[in-house]
Amino acid sequence: MQEKHKYEVYLNRHQMSFLEEMAKNFGLEDGSKALRCLVNFAIDEAGEQGRIFDEVRCLDCG
């Protein structure tokens, strides 16, 4: 297992709730693991990163 580093990430309450729910639903250790899964997915889909980052999806901007 690779060494993990601690980072401070700012999330809205609904984002953290989503990560915790995904962790619970998929038997992950916690929301941090759910976030790592999402980051790994983005890395793995190198040719599709524009689909993730080009479109604005701000649920908080209105």
pLDDT in tens, 13-57: 999 999 999 999 999 999 999 999 999 999 998 888 888 888 887
CA distances from 39 to 15, 29, 62 (A): 14, 16, 25
Answer yes or no: is 32 within a domain. Answer: yes
Answer yes or no: is 21 within a domain. Answer: yes
Q: Which two tokens stand for residue 16?
A: 């953290």
34: Cβ contacts below 8 Å, ≥ 6 apart: 19, 20, 22, 23, 26, 28
Per-residue pLDDT tens digits for 26-36: 999 999 999 99
Answer yes or no: is 29 within a domain. Answer: yes
Answer yes or no: is 55 within a domain. Answer: no
**54 or 11, which is more confident:** 11
Residue 57 confidence (pLDDT)? 77
Q: What is the pTM of this model?
A: 0.82
Answer yes or no: is 40 within a domain. Answer: yes
Residue 53 confidence (pLDDT)? 82
Answer yes or no: is 17 within a domain. Answer: yes
Number of domains in the chain: 1
- The residue segments making up the domain with residue 29 are 13-46
Q: Cα–Cα distance between 46 and 52 in angstroms, integer?
A: 10
3-state secondary structure of 45: coil
Answer yes or no: is 28 within a domain. Answer: yes
